[in-house]
Structure formats: C-alpha cells, structure tokens
Amino acid sequence: MGALLLATAISAGVASYGWQYRDEPTGRWFIALALSASGWALFEAFYLLADSASARLLWYVLVLIPAEAAVFFTLLFALEIAGYERLVSRRTAALFAVWPTLTVVGAVTNALGLHTLLWESLSFSTTGGITTADVVYGPLFWVDIVYSYVAVGAALVVLGIHCLRSRQIYRKQALLLFVAVLVPPIVGAVYLWTPFSPANPIAISFAATSSLLAIGLSRYRILDISPIARDLVIERMADPVIVVDRKDRLADTNPSARALFDVEPSSLGTPVADVFDAEVAEALETDGELRVVDDNGEARYFEVDRSAVTDGRDAVRGHLHILHDITERRVRERWFRALTENASDLIFVLDADGSVSYLSDSAAQTLGADADPSEVRSLARFLHPDDEDAAVETFREALARPDEDATAELRFRSSTRGWRVFSVRCRNLLDDPVVGGVVVNAHDVTDRRKHEQQLETFANVVSHDLRNPLNVAEGYLELVKEAERPDPDHVERIEAAHERMGEIITDVLALARGGTVDERETVSLDAVATEAWANVDTKSAALEVAESASFMADRTRLLQLFENLFRNSVEHAGDGVTVTVGATRDGFYVEDDGPGVPSEDRPKLFESGFTTAADGTGFGLAIVRTIADAHDWSVGYEDAADAGARFVIRGVERAEDPVQASSSASSDDA
C-alpha cells in the first residue's frame, strides 16, 4: 500500500513539475502520462482498500482507465519528443485511442455480465488483510496485452532511433527517455510470467518512470526544443549558432558560439538576458548586426540570421540564430568609404528618378551641400543652367544602356571656387543588389581645360602669329641676299620682325607659366610699378603713383603683370597718356585717362588672342589674368572717373609696412 501511495505522490509531483511546459505539445503529453501513472497507482490503492466485493469490482474496472491511458500517452509522448510529431494529430490520436476505449467498455460490460471476453471468472479473497483476485482471463485481455506491448514497443523504437541520432549530452537525454519507458514493460512481463505482489507492480513501476523523467526534466531539460534543434544544427558549423526557446531561454549553442561568448553548458535553460550582454540580446531579438570584441581585443562583426524552429504542426517552438561573420565585408566597406570620403572626385548615387540617394563627403564639401542625401534631393541646383539639358540627356543615356558608361562635361558650382568644369561618368547599377542606383563620378578638369586652351593658343601662335613676322623676315632676308648693297630699310624690317617674334614668344611663355605661386615676398607697390614702367617702351606717357602699399607677391611675376597693363594703356590710349597706380582696401588698381574700352569689347577683354590693336598679340590682358589667378587674386575692368580704362586687382594679402613696423618696434622697446 505504501509503495502505491508513494508512486502516486511521485507521479503527481512530476506532473506538477512539468506544468510549466503545458504550452508545449510535448509538455502536455508529458503531464498526461505522469497523471495517468499517478491515477493508476491511486486506483490500485483504492482497489486494495475496498471492503466489499462490489467496491472491489468497481475499482478493478476503473483501474483500467488510467492503465490504458498510461500506455496511450506513453506512445504519444515518445512520438512527439523524438521528432515524429506529424504522426500525433487529432486523427491519429483518436485512432490510437480506439482500442483502449473498447477495452474499458469491454470491462464495464464484462462486469455487468453481458459477456466474458475480458475475464471468464473473477473472485476476490482477503487473507491477512490483503485482497487478492482469482481471475481467469478471456481472449480480449490477451489482445489488450498485445496492443499494450505493441504501443510501448513502438515508443521504444522511436526513442531508440532518437537516441542514435542524438549527440553528446543529448544522447544521454535520449537514453534516459528510453530507459524510463522501458521499465514498465519489463516489470509487466515479469509480473505476467510470475505474479509476485498483491498489487499490480506495473503501476508502481511507473513511479520509476516518472522519477527518471523528473531527472531528465531538471538535469537534461528533456522538454526543451534542443532535441529538435539538433536535427537542424550541424555541431561543427563554423558560424556561431544559438537556439532560444519560446520563453527566451537559452536552449542550445554550438561550439563556435560557446567559444565566442564563453558560454557554459550549465547556462542552458537560463534567460537570454542573463547569459549575454544587452547588445547581444538585442541583436538576437531584432535580427540585427552584432559587434563582438574577441579575446585578442579585435572587433568582429556578425550578421544575425534569425529563423523560427517549428514542429511538425508548424507551431513555433523557438528561434534559431545563425551568426554569419561579416568582419571582412565590414573592413572592405570601411576601406571603400574611406576612399570615397577622401577622394577629390565627386561621387553620387542617383535613384531611377534622378534623386540623390548618396553623395560622398568630397561632393558635399565641394558643392557646399548637406551630407544628408534627403536634403540634397536633386543635383539641378548645383548645375550650370546651360548644362541642365546635357545632364538629363546623359542620365537617360545611362538608363537606356546599362552595359555602357555615359559621359559628359558639366559645370558644377563650387562653394569656394565658383563654376568648375567636371568630366562626368555615369554607370547604371540599378539592378545591382548592393548599389541599386546610377553611380555618377565627376572629376574636376577645369585646370586641364585651361591648359588645353593654352596649348591651343600656343598652337595658334606658332601656326599663325609667329608665321607672319617670320615670313616677313624671310622675305626681306632674300632681298638683302640678292642686293649688292643691302637696303637699310630691309634690314630694319628684318630686325623689327625678329623683335616682334621675341615679344610674341615672351607673352606665350608668360601664359605658359600659369599654375600657382608658392613663394611670396613683401613688395612695395610704388617700387614694383616704377621698375615695371622702366621696362616698357612708354614713349611720351607718364606714370603717377597715387597711394602705395606693401603686400605679399611673387615679385618677378608681379612685374610682368604691371608691364602688360602699362603696355596695354600705351598701345590703346596713345601718346601722352597718364597712367595712375594706387592702392585699394583689398588690392590695387591701374588706370589711364584714355578713351576706355567699348562696352561690347569688355566681356572678351581677358580672353587669349583678343585684341583691338593692329599689331597686338591679344595675350597682354590674358597674361594679367593668369598672373592674378596664380596669386588667388581677381582682376576686373571698371570705367575710370575721367572715362578712361581702370583695371582693379582684388583679394591681395596686405603686408605690414616696414616703416610702420619699425616705428612700432621702437615704441615697444621704449
């Protein structure tokens, strides 16, 4: 009696312990099995305690209900936990329950005397307070025995297969399940062969089954999803793998994950938030990216691939997290971003409708735009109005021909340098899953274009301007050779032609220097102007210095600037012109009292080759602009107060006047 009551308590306790898994299909079958075992032992105890024949017969029949249920739930539990849950449907469960139901109904009708299929005769006797049954079994009893052993045998088969498929600690888990289910049929076989107890020992043996299941539940967590997950996870997978159950508890890890996060096997069943830090837990929950610093202090990056683990009924049992190492990809992305952000070229990515989805730092800085593409939207506001149609046509060409680059030269407005010419190359990568847009690379070719224009100018000079005086010199040289006594006028013509060629060559070399000024010195405006005036054939012209100043410049090239401005005034204003040089707040000016420049000629004043003089090269003012650009100055034309020509140079860096500096130093010393 004590054994039966102990078995009842043990099985009931195991059922209550497994109540936390009641939401899981496996947990429900586990609870049902433990309750059936507990009921079987309890009903056996009531049978033994019955004090009348009718009460004993009643409990003898009722015992069959938990007994048949125990066999029934053993089969369903084994199929579920071994991964054959597709066989555990309402239809199959109903089919498996047909025979146990018929057996219970047969017992009731047999007790009512309607037939003798389950037992042919049944009598009870009490000896020494112990109730025994003298029974002659009928054919239905033996069929039920066969059914029970077939059902339990099927459960043992699937658990055995599950045991062979499991690895490491899960093999122990599966083996424990196998032994727990094996105990009752062994005890039953021995009992049928040689009855050895007044109470049915099979009911007591289920207490051992419940105890083993309790050990498996507490130590090996047999109701977690890890046995199912192990069918999906390769133990030696290079990527870290983490399995989490529906209650956000750690259910499984592979060696890569344990090594990466230093997870102990004892952590299984612990809430994820208690095992990992907040960043890892959040990445597992949101399926995001994860940064992990390894033992060597190096950062590794992982992309979390989260997928649901479902059973045969497609019910979610948990989630499988595979961490793909993307460290190399992140390094390449940082390398590429560093290139694009530090490149001088402008890089854009445009959507199919032409809106900006990405722009490099160089593009944002050059254009003076917001680095956020959503604030830029379109490149139209940075394009020269005359180039908008060409830009649209180039973009459409890139869309129409994704296998070819579309190119054009477009002018973009620099936030610091004004309009600049860029060689633009568009590549259609809309179908690229990584880029998903049209990549635009714009290379600044403004300086190259200027140099090309200079080369073109040089070619024109060589082919035309130099050829004219050269032909003159050659013609008069032939006359000199043929004459017995050379005509002095012919010699003068040859000499003048050579002087003309020298002037042209000097101007071309001045234009060719271009570039920028690297070294500067302090120069005085009146000193440089006076020296330059002496270098030019000014004829009867006069120079006046209205106001002097000191500033930083390349003295040699500044002399060239003044010489060309002075020569321009003398050539265009004529003899007797007065040229005035003076300082301004941010530069200086050169003006004359001549007729000035007609308004229609002013837009072309500083173009190479433009001249209104019959013998001019058209390079003088172009040289002035080149020298000003080399100093980062600007040069412009204005009407002088007395209607003459006035050229103003601005953006000049003033230097401290030596006399003032000396006076200041003396005051400080005093």
Residue with tokens 């192990």, as numbered in its chain:
230
Averaged over successive runs of 10 residues, the pLDDT of the chain (670 residues) comes to 73 77 75 83 80 83 87 83 75 85 89 87 73 82 88 83 64 75 82 70 76 67 51 62 83 80 78 84 79 78 80 68 81 68 76 84 79 66 89 90 88 86 90 84 84 70 61 80 82 78 68 69 92 81 91 86 86 84 93 84 72 60 85 86 84 70 39
- 456 shares its domain with 425: no
Contacts of 545 (CB under 8 A, 6+ apart): 525, 526, 529, 530, 580, 581, 582
- 14 shares its domain with 158: yes
- 297 shares its domain with 189: no
Full domain range(s) for residue 423: 347-444
- 250 shares its domain with 288: yes
pLDDT digits (tens, 9 = 90+) for 270-313: 888 888 888 888 888 877 778 887 777 778 888 888 877 765 55
pLDDT digits (tens, 9 = 90+) for 524-581: 999 999 988 887 777 788 999 998 899 999 887 888 789 889 888 888 877 788 999 9
In a domain, 277, yes or no: yes
- 527 shares its domain with 637: yes
Last residue of a domain, one of 193, 227, 261: 227
In a domain, 185, yes or no: yes
Note the pTM of the prediction, 2 decimals.
Answer: 0.41
- 60 shares its domain with 144: yes
- 302 shares its domain with 363: no
CATH of the domain at 507: 1.10.287
Question: In whole angstroms, how far apart are CA 155 and each of 71, 98, 151, 205, 401?
Answer: 10, 18, 6, 17, 66
Contacts of 283 (CB under 8 A, 6+ apart): 289, 290, 302, 304
Domain total for the chain?
5
Contacts of 69 (CB under 8 A, 6+ apart): 32, 36, 39, 100
In a domain, 70, yes or no: yes
Whole-number Å distance between alpha carbons of 40 and 46: 10
Q: E strands of 585-621, at which residues?
A: 587-592
CATH of the domain at 72: 1.20.1070
